[in-house]
Structure 1
Amino acid sequence: MALEEIEITKDRGRALWKIEEDEDELQKMIGTVDPIPASVHNPKKRMEWLAGRVVVKAILEQLGLTFKGIVKDEFGKPFPKAYDYQLSLSHSYPYVTALVDREPPTGIDLEQPKEKLLRIAPRVFRHDELKDAGRDITKLCIYWCAKEALIKVYGKKDLTLAENLIISPFSRESEGNILGSIIVKDVETIIPLYYKVYPNFVVVYTKRNAS
């Protein structure tokens, strides 16, 4: 079992999984619930798809719930089937992470810092974000994950990273709080976020307002 990390409170759970199993082993963990869509052919994508279900199942079981699958709304936003919970998933092979919460907003993103961020950063980040991150690839990755988490909070596709999603400057540590904002039609919604820097990847996820 490759459950790397799990945090559970009364009605919220976050977990991290490292894929060390093959496809058959992952499939056995969820049984016949949520079969892989026929359109998913790539072996790694298939394992990410299965591991996402495995990690959500692990969280739900810790919350005293039975995994019955994942459904999506008309915008592609996932939800745990049969329960009034929010759900966010992210993966960057071989890592998969999920956040399940009874209360919105709920968003999580996992990425591995890579040199290509330096190339694409000017197209997706604001000037003040670029100035704050400089050429720190890990910090750029935190900014990227934070914006992706905000997209998942919003749940629709009509946002641009630079114009609608703003991350306040921060001092990079091994983990910490940051503030994100979603601006749509001149209405700003502030979203508290938390980041964690691991040896090979970064995770950013939404916080409860009171936490």
Structure 2
Amino acid sequence: MPVVQEELGQRGGWLLWEITESEATLKQEAAACVGNWAEWEEITHAERRRAWLAARRAAVVLAEHMGVTPAPLYKDGFGKPRWPHDDWSVSLTHAGTYAAALMHYRQPSGIDLELIRPKLVPLAPKYLSAEEQQDACDDPTRLCVYWSAKEALYKLHGRRRLSFRTDLHITLPGDLHERGDFRGAYRHETQWEDLEMSYRRIGNYFLTFNAVE
């Protein structure tokens, strides 16, 4: 069964998909959410081609489960995927053998999936504030959640020229478990926008997203 985890609410939901299908099968099953095949055709790496399709396949299934008719996605001027349905936002992600989709009703969406890896330790000063670095304490697991959460916030914000270190802020709980909630904030012009976020651990991966209701 490709659906690994799923959470549906009244005003949002997310779905994690395990990529087991062939490229040909995914191409057929993801077609309802593909608005620009040229983007896919430019991908040369076979696994990335499957992952791109799988994220859109996840969006098809999630939309159906939320009672929304799947439709071709298009990218806005900032590269953020959007539905033709103005009331619903969508965000996509993929890593390794997984892909995921998130939908929210009348609010933006941001979701990201990341693998726990040691290379995040030397990169930490580039994407964490001094306070966040002190909290992470070079722990690859905490650094993975920080990185994933900031990626999700960046997607949610939907604009470019945001500094991960100074314009995105994450407050994690003291201990990380298989699932949990935390706070995220992003700088919007001269003010900070605060919101509730969630994480799920899937093996050596962390999935983060703005919480669904």
Q: Alpha-carbon deviation of 1:80?
A: 2.2
2:164 aligned counterpart, secondary structure = coil
Q: Report percent identity of matched pairs.
A: 30
Aligned residues: 209
- What residue number does 1:21 align with? 21
Quick one: structure 1 residues 127 and 103, their matched pair in 2 at CA, closer, same or farther if it must change by over 3 Å?
same
CA distance in 2, matches of 1:124, 1:101: 26
5+ residue gaps, structure 1: none
Choose the corresponding residue for 1:166, options 169, 192, 205: 169
Relative to structure 2, which stretch is displaced further, 27-36 or 143-152? 27-36
Quote how far apart the aligned CAs of 1:89 are: 0.8
The TM-score normalised by the length of structure 2 is: 0.91
User: Deviation of residue 83 (structure 1)?
Assistant: 5.0
SS in 1 for 2:37: coil
Alpha carbons 1:6, 1:15 under 8 Å: kept: yes
SS at match of 1:52: helix
1:203 aligns with 2:207: yes
- What's the CA shift for 1:171? 1.4
Inter-partner Cα distance in structure 2 for 1:30 and 1:144: 28
Q: Can you give the 5+ residue segments of structure 2 that lack an aligned partner in the other structure?
A: none
What's the offset of the Cα at 1:84? 2.4
Partners in 2 of 1:33 and 1:173 — Cα distance? Answer: 34
Please show how residues 1-211 of structure 1 align to structure 2 within 5 Å: 1-31=1-31, 34=34, 36-37=37-38, 38-82=41-85, 84-174=87-177, 175-208=179-212
CA–CA separation in structure 2 for the residues paired with 1:122 and 1:70? 35
Query: Using the alignment, how far apart are the partners of 1:53 and 1:200 within structure 2?
Result: 23
Counterparts of 2:68 and 2:126 in 1: how far apart (Å)?
42
Deviation at 1:65, TM superposition (A): 2.4
Which deviates more, 83-92 or 139-148?
Answer: 83-92
Distance 1:4 1:165, change over 3 A: same
Deviates more, 1:63-72 or 1:30-39: 30-39
Shift of 1:86: 0.6
Is the 8 Å Cα contact of residues 32 and 72 (structure 2) preserved in structure 1? no
In the alignment, the residues of structure 2 paired with residue 163 and residue 45 of structure 1 have an alpha-carbon distance, to the nearest angstrom, of 31
Normalising by structure 1, we get a TM-score of 0.92
Residue deviations 1:86-133, cap 9 Å, x none?
Answer: 111111121111101113132111100111001101221111111111
Q: For the Cα contact (< 8 Å) 2:92–2:111, is it kept in 1? A: yes
Q: Which runs of 4+ in 1 moved over 6 A?
A: none
One-letter amino acid of the structure 2 residue matched with residue 193 of structure 1: M
